[in-house]
């Protein structure tokens, strides 16, 4: 798009500038975000991803939102790593449902090298289906990131979760710098980055501003930016937190779109709790990716038929899949 080349991509947004975007009249903010969105994307196309837990529960981290932590009694049963055929079967189902990207999550703090080898073996057959691949396995060393790149991994998800200032209220077992170091290792290996955060954990608007400033300061910006709304799970410390007001979530999407124009912005966790009007506003504000499937790791997601009906009513179509045997390599 010709106009794209006249739009300046910035990594130096100030807190004051971002706060001013949040304070704009709602209609003005949406108009600005939608205008930016049209410069870089087809506004009627949505990327579909599918998310599978390949190793559930037993995580030693104490993330206050997570039902897979060993610190909380949430009823999530601890399981081992799925085998390759189980994972490939789920990938086939995702491809048949129209997904473009197959994401796999494992409840590890930091995988061992032998875990990396096991997961790396999953990637070639999944990519042969024409699916992009994404992993979220916890912290990585540079060598582990390089090994996943060699296996053909397209994306690595590692969220910042919240602002640096609020982070210690949510997690004590991993530092903010740990997260940034993993992102740096992934980027150095040539793997594209999926990185976003969660709102609804008790943070203030200033924390949301700070989170987006951190994401926008990454150079280049994350190729995928998932914006999650807290899914409250009984047994976790955040169960009973104040719920996110729907228009506040739309504002988060809109500001993310303005700050990171080339990034795919995903409505991630919490979409099952959103009505269709809220989702439609998010799409107008610049969200152009969703997860398909009825479960996100261990929390609910809208049913596939409901998603298809909503997209059809809005005139939205899914991004075409890659041809089988044509999965992309690690570098963008």
Find all residues with CB under 8 Å of 159, minimum gap 6, and list them: 179, 195, 196, 197, 198, 226, 228
Q: List residues with catalytic annotation.
A: 59, 63, 66, 103, 134, 194, 266
Number of neighbours of residue 119 by Cβ within 10 angstroms = 25
- Single out the residue of 330, 292, 331 nearest to residue 310, CA to CA: 292
Contact 164, 194 (CB under 8 A): no
Alpha-carbon distance values, 176 to 8, 172, 317 (Å): 28, 10, 37
Degrees to nearest 5, angle at CA 241 with 235 and 245? 140
Q: Which of 178, 138, 180, 181 is nearest to 156 (CA)?
A: 138
Longest dimension (CA), the chain: 54
Q: Is the peptide bond before 220 cis (omega within 30 degrees of 0)?
A: yes
User: In angstroms, rounded to a whole number, what is the distance separating the alpha carbons of residues 145 and 141?
Assistant: 6
DSSP string covering 192-235: EEE--EEE-SS--HHHHHHHHHHHHHSSSPPSEEEEEEP---TT
Query: How many C-beta neighbours within 10 Å does residue 77 have?
Result: 9
Q: Are 40 and 262 in contact (CB under 8 A)?
A: yes
């Amino acid at each position: 798009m010709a106009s794209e080349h006249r739009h300046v991509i910035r990594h130096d947004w100030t807190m004051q500038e971002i706060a001013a975007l949040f304070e704009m009249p709602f209609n003005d903010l949406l108009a600005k975000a939608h205008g930016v969105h049209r410069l870089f994307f087809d506004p009627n196309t949505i990327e579909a991803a599918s998310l599978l837990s390949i190793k559930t529960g037993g995580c030693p981290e104490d993330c206050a939102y997570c039902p897979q932590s060993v610190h909380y009694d949430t009823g999530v049963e601890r399981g081992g790593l799925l085998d390759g055929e189980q994972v490939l079967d789920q990938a086939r189902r995702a491809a048949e449902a129209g997904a473009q990207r197959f994401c796999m999550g494992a409840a590890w703090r930091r995988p061992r090298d032998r875990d990396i080898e096991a997961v790396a073996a999953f990637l070639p057959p999944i990519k042969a289906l024409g699916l992009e691949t994404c992993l979220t396995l916890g912290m990585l060393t540079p060598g582990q990131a390089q090994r996943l790149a060699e296996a053909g991994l397209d994306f690595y998800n590692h969220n910042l979760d919240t602002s640096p200032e609020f982070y210690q209220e949510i997690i004590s077992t991993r530092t903010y710098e740990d997260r940034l170091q993993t992102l740096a290792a992934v980027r150095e290996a040539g793997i594209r980055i999926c990185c976003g955060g969660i709102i609804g954990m008790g943070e203030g608007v200033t924390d949301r501003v700070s989170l987006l400033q951190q994401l926008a300061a990454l150079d280049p910006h994350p190729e995928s930016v998932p914006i999650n709304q807290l899914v409250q799970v009984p047994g976790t410390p955040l169960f009973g937190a104040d719920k996110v007001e729907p228009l506040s979530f739309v504002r988060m999407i809109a500001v993310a779109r303005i700050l990171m124009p080339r990034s795919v912005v995903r409505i991630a966790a919490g979409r099952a709790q959103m009505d269709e009007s809220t989702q439609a506003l998010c799409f107008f504000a610049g969200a152009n990716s969703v997860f398909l499937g009825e479960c996100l790791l261990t929390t609910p997601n809208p049913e596939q038929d409901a998603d298809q009906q909503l997209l059809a009513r809005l005139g939205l179509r899914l991004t075409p899949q890659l041809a089988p045997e044509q999965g992309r390599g690690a570098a963008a």
